[in-house]
Chains A and B, each alone.
Chain A
Amino acid sequence: MSTQPPEAAASARELTYAEAIREGLEQAMEADSRVFLFGEDVGVYGGAFGVSGDLVHRFGAERVIDTPISELGMAGAAVGAAITGMRPVLEIQFSDFITLAMEQIVNQAAKIRFMFGGKATVPMVVRLPGGSGTGAAAQHSQSLEAWFAHVPGLKVVQPSTPHDAKGMLLAAIDDPNPVLIFEHKLLYKTKGPVPEEAYRVPIGKAAVRRAGEDVTIVASSIMAIKAAAAAERLAAEGVSAEVIDLRSIRPIDLETIAASVRKTHRLLIVYEGVKTMGVGAEIAAMIAESDAFDYLDAPILRLGGADAPLPYNPVLEKAAVPQEDDIVAAALRLARGEA
């Protein structure tokens, strides 16, 4: 378990989430000639969300490669390059388009190490801008991370801060396994402290963003930011919420969650992906199966995406994913024994 890492506190320099990822890419490419980046318009244009920026000018078109619109081929090319000695980083322009690449990621990348008896590793990273809130409708707004967390052999992370975006990217590039990084589109412009050196944020470790006594709120990606804001408001209502930013959903840091539940006796899980059959179900089940279950004083609550495709109209779109108000209301119900 860790709170805000000490480096972050010491560093005064702030970067946006997108800049932090770019700096991580740059440092990884500088340090290791095996690392290369590819994806649609990541080179000359600098990435649809501006993440790769001018990296093509630093490293050339051989290492920052613009691809055609061929997601399946690209994912497979990452697998093939990885098992042939490289460290590919693939950007899928909108995470929704990974549906076209499922086969190579699920049947190949995830299984190669096990299936071939440990004779090969697949050190590839896939960066996936996702999430709703931009009016981009049903095919450009999804949060599909739970699909991949269901696949043994893959690692799945969702950094919520610029600090973690850089540190988890560097950890992912080091990792000998395929790592999928889901980056929330609404986070790209958010700012936060980012150390200048190349540092790693371990994959599989949650962060306690705020210590509290009355209720544990476990959240991932942008929901961790919303949960922290909600906790601020809850404090004003006399409810002390502990906020855990999951950061990684496979592997998942059950120990940090269970320790918090043993302390607060109440658990609220918040995530943007569809609630049904999602990350929250897994966490709730893990807690129910653990000794932490005995500490619960209330039912476990989940807030997740609606059981519907993401709608275009902005009012409906907001209604389709948990908002700060929903988190406050749910935590209050839990804390007041109304759940």
Chain B
Amino acid sequence: MTAERAKSRYSAMLRIRASEEALQKLFADGRIPGFVHLSIGQEAVAVGVSSCLRDADTVSSNHRGHGHTLAKGVELEPFFAEILGRETGLCRGRGGSMHVADFSKGMLGANGIVGAGLPITTGSALALKLLGKGDIAVVYFGDGALAQGLVHECINLSALWSLPVMFVCENNGWSEFSPTSRQMATSLRKLADAFGVEYRAVDGNRVSEVAATAETLVAGMRKAPAPAILECATTRVRGHFEGDRQDYRTASEIQSLPARDPLSLARAEMQVEGVPPDWFDEVAKQIAVEVNNAVAKALTAPPPIDADLAAGVYAGMGSK
């Protein structure tokens, strides 16, 4: 049972990793027409949290949202097609990397505005509470978002109204090109304390740890709606966006990253528990095939066919 869960989490992380490595290459080849922010090194947060979620639970994300999206069960081909700007994409090529979404999977959208996912998620949690089925809402945001006033408003609202929302902070130490130490005068722990919201800190690169803690928090809020904050210490391996030269990072920081790799950490734990090396080879092969096929199909997909932009703006006007 535990081994099965560990395997499924590992596969989910590898699927995200392989997909983002494919995006990295597509970007380098000039095949992606816009911004791409990769979450390589942060996969354990999305997977650990999502392993405790069901379809009806909602998640909302930020500009670094590929992992959150895929971990929620979104399919690969429309995901790639979106980032390639195709009609078959999740959002018909209108949104791109910063706006991937799949409402059928409870994925309410990545977001280009830092902090903007929190109010949306607070509202989603309000709706879920009113619907009364024990479903919960999750929002992923970065350490940089903590400086936005609306983050503080949302923590307050959710505490005041006892909303079933889990605020998941991916603290990778960076806000674009500036370290968090130059951005925030306080910590999330203290903020949680100030608003009386339950707070847990985990090693966000250990998927088993993220999953175990998220599970406890989620189980609690399904029974009795209340917010919780989960702060995950994690690592941004790539630049802020693809193409970022990263000359603001020290060599020692970059050298420290491999030892914190969530996939390696999970694999080491699983091997101790007896998962054989063959299993890892096999799953790597399967996922490589799956990702390659999805990319190949997405690359042959047509560009948006409906050039009438205005037709897509309002609902209820006979448009798609």
Query: Contact mask A18-60 → B, CB, 8 Å, 1/0?
Result: 0000000000000000000000110011001000000000000
List residues of chain B with CB under 8 Å of any chain A CB: 33-35, 85-86, 91, 93-96, 98-99, 111-115, 144-145, 147-150, 175-178, 182-184, 248, 303-304, 307, 309-310, 312-313
Asked if A313 and B309 make an inter-chain contact with CB atoms under 8 angstroms apart, the answer reads: no
Asked if B33 and A135 make an inter-chain contact with CB atoms under 8 angstroms apart, the answer reads: yes
Interface size class of A (residues with CB under 8 A): 35 or more
**A68 and B96 in contact (CB under 8 A), knowing A40-B176, A139-B112, A308-B312?**
no
Asked if B175 and A68 make an inter-chain contact with CB atoms under 8 angstroms apart, the answer reads: yes
- Distance between A66 CB and nearest chain B CB, rounded to angstroms: 6
List residues of chain A with CB under 8 Å of any chain B CB: 40-41, 44-45, 48, 66, 68-73, 96-97, 99-100, 134-140, 306-309, 311-316, 319-320
Asked if A69 and B33 make an inter-chain contact with CB atoms under 8 angstroms apart, the answer reads: no
Asked if B309 and A320 make an inter-chain contact with CB atoms under 8 angstroms apart, the answer reads: yes
Asked if A137 and B148 make an inter-chain contact with CB atoms under 8 angstroms apart, the answer reads: no
Of A45, A68, A138, A309, which contacts B177 at CB under 8 A?
Answer: A45
Asked if A308 and B310 make an inter-chain contact with CB atoms under 8 angstroms apart, the answer reads: yes
Asked if A312 and B34 make an inter-chain contact with CB atoms under 8 angstroms apart, the answer reads: yes
Asked if B175 and A69 make an inter-chain contact with CB atoms under 8 angstroms apart, the answer reads: yes
A92 to B33, CA, bound (A): 24
A316 to B34, CA, bound (A): 13
Asked if A319 and B307 make an inter-chain contact with CB atoms under 8 angstroms apart, the answer reads: yes
Asked if B112 and A140 make an inter-chain contact with CB atoms under 8 angstroms apart, the answer reads: yes
A312 to B94, CA, bound (A): 5
- Identify the interface centre among B150, B248, B307: most chain A CB within 10 Å of its CB: B307
Of B35, B148, B309, which contacts A136 at CB under 8 A?
Answer: B35
What residue in chain A is nearest B115 (Cβ atoms)? A69
Of B94, B111, B147, which contacts A316 at CB under 8 A?
Answer: B94
- Distance between B113 CB and nearest chain A CB, rounded to angstroms: 6
Asked if B98 and A137 make an inter-chain contact with CB atoms under 8 angstroms apart, the answer reads: yes
Asked if B313 and A307 make an inter-chain contact with CB atoms under 8 angstroms apart, the answer reads: yes
A92 to B59, CA, bound (A): 28
Asked if A139 and B113 make an inter-chain contact with CB atoms under 8 angstroms apart, the answer reads: yes
- Distance between B156 CB and nearest chain A CB, rounded to angstroms: 16
- Distance between A68 CB and nearest chain B CB, rounded to angstroms: 3
What residue in chain A is nearest B36 (Cβ atoms)? A135
Asked if B313 and A309 make an inter-chain contact with CB atoms under 8 angstroms apart, the answer reads: yes
Asked if B33 and A66 make an inter-chain contact with CB atoms under 8 angstroms apart, the answer reads: no
- Distance between A52 CB and nearest chain B CB, rounded to angstroms: 12
26 contacts between A and B (CB under 8 A): A44-B248, A45-B177, A45-B178, A45-B248, A48-B176, A69-B114, A70-B147, A71-B148, A96-B112, A100-B150, A135-B34, A135-B35, A136-B34, A136-B112, A137-B98, A309-B313, A311-B93, A311-B309, A312-B91, A312-B94, A312-B95, A313-B85, A313-B94, A316-B94, A316-B307, A320-B309
What residue in chain B is nearest A137 (Cβ atoms)? B96
A97 to B147, CA, bound (A): 14
**A311 and B149 in contact (CB under 8 A), knowing A137-B95, A138-B112, A139-B98?**
no
What residue in chain B is nearest A276 (Cβ atoms)? B310
- Identify the interface centre among A48, A135, A311, A319: most chain B CB within 10 Å of its CB: A311
Asked if A314 and B112 make an inter-chain contact with CB atoms under 8 angstroms apart, the answer reads: no
A66 to B99, CA, bound (A): 27
A84 to B75, CA, bound (A): 55
- Distance between B14 CB and nearest chain A CB, rounded to angstroms: 27
* A71 contacts across to B, CB distance below 8 A: 148
- Identify the interface centre among B35, B112, B175, B182: most chain A CB within 10 Å of its CB: B112
